Structure 1
Amino acid sequence: MNPASIHTPVLIIGGSLVGLSASLFLAWRGVPHILVEKHHGSAAHPRATGFTEHTLEFFRTAGIAERIPQVPPGATVRRARVESLAGQHYEELPWTPGQPEERDGKASPMAGAAIAQDLLEPILREAARARGADLRTGVELLSVQQDAQRVTAQLRQRDTGACYAVTADYLIAADGAASPIREQLGIARQGAGALRVLRSVLFRCAEADAFLERGIRQFDIDQPGFKGFLGTYSDGRWFLMFEEQSESTDAQLRALVRQALGKDMAFELITTGRWELAGLIADRFSEGRIFLAGDSAHQLPPTRGGYGANTGIDDVYNLAWKLQRVVRQQSRPALLDTYTDERRPVAWLRHQQTFARPDYAKWVGDGYQNEPLYGNLAMELGQLTRSSAILGADAALPPAAHPRDWAGQPGTRAPHVWVRHRGNSVSSIDLLTEDFVLLTADPRWSAAAAHLSLKTLLAGADVVFPADQAFVDTFGTGDDGAVIVRPDGIIAWRSAPAAIPDAMLLRAVMEKIALPHG
């Protein structure tokens, strides 16, 4: 093919965690695309390491969850304030300060995962390629322009210097916190701002692994004149993070590692990194045919909820099904306008939660002290999604709540229940990933949907719920109601009490939530 004629429905700029997740989700949905990444592989220093139940649900949908080692159901990563790894342990710290531990393994078919980013990315890369993704590494973006019809990117193969253009219907900018694409679009950011410059040291220390027998994996180092954070990737590698006032020499870095270990242990220095700790949320997540995802849209510091990486993966899961429908001309392009409306409030709430907690509150003053604190599962599985394509997400509803406190309200994640379907035990969310689905216990709704492009599942017949988690209670429909769930598992509509099943009503609902083409 002549390079000048390359065209793809979707172009992804950035092949790290979020870009690769976008590629996997698009490939799973059968959307042709090209991903370009200027490096040939993952960064030498892993960044993210904790992935939530919700993220693992997305990977379950895409068929790779079994390749990612999960933590035991109900388990949490334990953290302590210590003098050093080998020294005095002062106190164990709560995972979410001010909130009780909640995980009991019942809210999701998945547990979280503790896997280093540089071990997860190859899994994503291989799975995306196996599903037909066109991944181009060692390729950098030179410039990007858009008009009403397309996006045009000028690219350069770094090894050969060869330049070529790619046009796309849409572009996902997963190009990091500094995002040249966001800057070119002139999209400003708001938030706590840039707070600190942190240095991180990655090293291998077999002797340190013996101290993990206590069950603690993360250590806040608290010494006079030295504060740091020591953790393990649970694969023989450790990292130390600390605020760096000036450039440290190799000898100084080694001395700090020994200080954090608290004992003369042999260790191998692997690599170091420096990065900006900041809280910044883009004013909008899209401009025309270009969509920001991950750190380009929201720069969040490392948190115990893993908000940075997990929020970015959630971004592209939200975007992938919308792009699928628009590219296939099943929905009008206006469906993509809901991306900012749905994702920015989620990112903003996570920003506020981060700086309301003691980890970071000490650095930003009193501006966040009145923020209500939400627990882990509320933030991971119970955040509310609102937009014009979700009908009935009442403004009086809280922005997040524990999954057990939701019961089918529009804008919430469809609840997980182990159900019987075609003779098999499956999670209810496994049935809600490919298209819009109408769920009801009333056959009249099934009849009303018969001539619509809408999959229907009849509770008690197509899918059998357990007696203690009956469909009508779990989804809040009553005996004669119904819900419609989107391809990303979000409830987009629930019938009003005493609503009469009617094809015209369902057609009007689908017009608003799916924006069908033509």
Structure 2
Amino acid sequence: MKTDVLVVGGGLAGTSAALFLAWHGVRVTLVEKHPGSSPHPRAVGFTARTGEMLRAAGIEDELPPSRMAKGFGIRRVRVESLAGKRFEETFWSPPAEQSPNGRTQAGGAQVEYSPSTGIGVAQDRMEPLLRDKARELGADIRMSTRMLEFSQDDAGVTAVVRGDGEPYEIRADYLVAADGHRSPVREALGITRGGRGYLHTSRSVLFRAPLDEYLRDGIGQFIVDGVGFLTTYGDGRWVLMLDDREYSEPELRQQIFRAIGRDDLDVEIITTGRWTISAAVADRFSRGRVFLAGDAAHTLPPSRGGFGANVGIEDAHNLAWKLAAVLNGESRPSLLDTYDAERRPVALLCHQQIFARDDGHNRDGEREDAPLLDNDAMHFGILYRSDAVLGAGPELPAAQRPEQWNGQPGTRAPHVWLAPGKSTLDLFGRGWVLVADHPQWEEASAELGIRCERLERLEPFGLSAKGASLVRPDGYIAWRAEDLPDDPADALKTAFRRSSAGTR
């Protein structure tokens, strides 16, 4: 069979890739060796930036209500037990006075960063929602189907897969490997990795118990002295992380009761797990027509920054529009080189930030000597430097809060409310957009077939009344003219062709 893009792996990154590719009109086939999601929920807590991407794809409103919907700041405290004494709270990002999804400035003024909020849905419930939406958009999702081998040539990739019957071939123009931290595809490509490497191994027990009364103060993670790490999935399920050894069921119950601080509750043990915690980033995110995404590209230990699943979803979002542009002939294949240039530095920065903090992973090593960047900078203020961005020089920091960037090329376009329920971010996602408020820019964009959105408020984009910003399909700013140049049409045409690797 023939498809445009073959995605290998049906976790969050792979399913998101299928979703975003289908949303861009790409023929995409996904193969996943398991019949469904893991019975262990694993990740919980998706950032407002992930919420923005799902909002653009039309799925945000379909997500279930969330206990964590007012933000992504997950609080952690050391305790005697859940019901016992509470000691010091440990902070992930530098403490700051926060509004639900923005920052409180001096004098009480609010800076809102996003129209979306953090999503407190467990991974085993998020994945089926993404799969269903991807299928609705036309993606071919094949569960219980394993890729046995693959090869690539100058024209595409040939994979041999097997479901319930005999093996068969799939021919694709490109392959996205989202096949996990062990990634057979990455290994077959000979791509090596760097980073802290193996950290430790932990056991886990997933259980259900009526413990909502201990969540009323907004704390959701607990370091229990002498026991382990306890956290909630926000839906009645909890996970307790323990030292790596064998536990009988009576021993697991005893540990759960010790962590809770009482033994008079009905506790249902759902499943157990054994987890290898490591940190590694691939030395390259692509080779030929094959691209790595999610844990295949970067294995990052669980953190309150949400640098695992969320970063993988953003990989998929970044890659999808570029593959679509190349496949439909709008851009040259050189645009795909910017995927590694933009996303690998993000993974390296996340690795750095995890080990710049005391988040339970620095057991046998020193902290990274690096300035701490708060969640607002990491979620909303990452800077991309690549040939798809004009004007993002090496002198600029890797991340800042959005108001500090003020519309800098290489950063996500700023959120401003245009009307109740409508954000500037809702203008982006389908194609290239020029943001301006001058008729000459409107004429220039019409010549190129680029949609022009005339906004009266251009200050958040760092523009004068005669300036313009060119925004990519992923909502990132590719270029801007802070004022009106002598020849707006020529300036826009040059910027578009350079940043899009355009063929028109």
Show the counterpart of 1:221: 224
Q: How does 1:387-426 map to 2 (within 5 A)?
A: 387-420=386-419, 426=422
1:72 to partner: Cα distance: 4.4
Show the counterpart of 2:471: 485
1:259 to partner: Cα distance: 2.0
Distance 1:75 1:487 in 2: 25
Show the counterpart of 1:454: 450
Q: How does 1:101-250 map to 2 (within 5 A)?
A: 101-105=97-101, 106-157=112-163, 160-206=164-210, 208-223=211-226, 226=227, 228-244=228-244, 246-250=245-249
Deviations 1:486-506 (A, max 9, x none): 000000001265622432222
Instruction: Give the conservation status (yes or no) of the 8 Å contact 1:176–1:296.
Output: yes
Q: How does 1:41-440 map to 2 (within 5 A)?
A: 41-68=36-63, 69-70=65-66, 71-73=68-70, 76-96=73-93, 98-105=94-101, 106-157=112-163, 160-206=164-210, 208-223=211-226, 226=227, 228-244=228-244, 246-264=245-263, 265-360=265-360, 362-366=362-366, 368=368, 370-420=369-419, 426-440=422-436
Distance 2:270 2:72 in 1: 30
Code of the aligned partner of 2:387: S
Distance 2:99 2:92 in 1: 11
Distance 2:338 2:97 in 1: 34
Instruction: Give the conservation status (yes or no) of the 8 Å contact 1:75–1:103.
Output: no
Deviations 1:192-240 (A, max 9, x none): 111001111101112x3332234322111122xx4x1101112111101
Classify the secondary structure of the residue corresponding to 1:92. strand
1:92 to partner: Cα distance: 2.9
Distance 2:72 2:353 in 1: 22
Distance 1:201 1:7 in 2: 43
Classify the secondary structure of the residue corresponding to 2:359. helix
Classify the secondary structure of the residue corresponding to 1:132. coil
Show the counterpart of 1:464: none
Task: Name the CA shift for 1:168/1:50 in 2 (closer, same or farther; >3 Å).
Answer: same
Instruction: Give the conservation status (yes or no) of the 8 Å contact 1:99–1:374.
Output: no
Task: Name the CA shift for 1:197/1:316 in 2 (closer, same or farther; >3 Å).
Answer: same
1:453 to partner: Cα distance: 2.6
Classify the secondary structure of the residue corresponding to 1:123. helix
Classify the secondary structure of the residue corresponding to 2:250. helix
Task: Name the CA shift for 1:173/1:306 in 2 (closer, same or farther; >3 Å).
Answer: same
Code of the aligned partner of 1:80: V
Distance 2:147 2:452 in 1: 44
Which of 460, 469, 478 is equivalent to 1:474?
Answer: 460
1:271 to partner: Cα distance: 0.6
Instruction: Give the conservation status (yes or no) of the 8 Å contact 2:205–2:241.
Output: yes
Deviations 1:345-398 (A, max 9, x none): 011101000000011463253351x20100111000011111011000122111
Code of the aligned partner of 2:412: R
Instruction: Give the conservation status (yes or no) of the 8 Å contact 2:435–2:455.
Output: yes
Unaligned runs of 5+ in 1: 1-5, 461-469
Which of 34, 37, 44 is equivalent to 1:39?
Answer: 34
1:132 to partner: Cα distance: 1.0
Instruction: Give the conservation status (yes or no) of the 8 Å contact 2:497–2:503.
Output: no
Code of the aligned partner of 2:144: G
Classify the secondary structure of the residue corresponding to 2:130. helix
Task: Name the CA shift for 1:425/1:308 in 2 (closer, same or farther; >3 Å).
Answer: closer
Instruction: Give the conservation status (yes or no) of the 8 Å contact 2:92–2:359.
Output: no
Code of the aligned partner of 1:508: T
Unaligned runs of 5+ in 2: 102-111
Distance 1:456 1:272 in 2: 53
Show the counterpart of 2:108: none
Distance 2:319 2:99 in 1: 28
Code of the aligned partner of 2:318: N
1:448 to partner: Cα distance: 2.2
Distance 2:69 2:156 in 1: 46
Distance 1:289 1:60 in 2: 29
Distance 1:296 1:335 in 2: 21
Distance 2:384 2:397 in 1: 11
Classify the secondary structure of the residue corresponding to 1:363. coil
Instruction: Give the conservation status (yes or no) of the 8 Å contact 1:51–1:306.
Output: yes
1:86 to partner: Cα distance: 1.7
Distance 1:504 1:266 in 2: 71
Deviations 1:161-214 (A, max 9, x none): 4211101000110100000000111111111111001111101112x3332234
Deviations 1:317-356 (A, max 9, x none): 0011111111111111111111000000011101000000
Distance 2:115 2:97 in 1: 18
Task: Name the CA shift for 1:351/1:109 in 2 (closer, same or farther; >3 Å).
Answer: same
Code of the aligned partner of 2:438: D
How many residues are aligned here? 491
Instruction: Give the conservation status (yes or no) of the 8 Å contact 1:109–1:416.
Output: yes
Task: Name the CA shift for 1:166/1:101 in 2 (closer, same or farther; >3 Å).
Answer: farther
Show the counterpart of 2:106: none
Instruction: Give the conservation status (yes or no) of the 8 Å contact 1:192–1:364.
Output: no
Task: Name the CA shift for 1:440/1:188 in 2 (closer, same or farther; >3 Å).
Answer: same
